[in-house]
């Protein structure tokens, strides 16, 4: 039996970073590299590097990563004007 798996595509809706009001900021000292943020990001804006790397061109600031992080390693900060 064949199974179809779909993956979210970066830039599927253009550069969603222009929508952002809050920006996720990673605190590496807290991160345990569980990659839950990478799994849940709806824009695929998190890349797997030594630590999660957020691509701000595509991050729309939804806060899902911060909500899902089990150790509160991601802080949502208001964008400066």
- Residue numbers at the binding site for ligand SF4 (CB under 6 A): 24, 26, 31-37, 41, 43, 45-46, 52, 54, 59-65, 69, 71, 73-74
CB of 3 to ligand SF4, least distance (A): 26
Closer residue to ligand SF4 in complex, CB, 1/75? 75
Parallel, antiparallel or unpaired: strands 52-54 and 46-48: antiparallel
CB of 2 to ligand SF4, least distance (A): 30
Closer residue to ligand SF4 in complex, CB, 13/26? 26
């Amino acid at each position: 039996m064949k199974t179809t798996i779909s993956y979210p595509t970066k830039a599927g809706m253009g550069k969603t970073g222009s929508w952002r009001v809050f920006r996720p900021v990673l605190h590496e000292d807290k991160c345990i590299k569980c990659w839950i943020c990478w799994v849940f990001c709806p824009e695929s804006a998190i890349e797997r590097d030594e630590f999660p790397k957020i691509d701000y061109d595509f991050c729309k600031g939804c806060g899902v990563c911060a909500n899902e992080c089990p150790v509160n390693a991601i802080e949502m900060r208001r964008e400066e004007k």
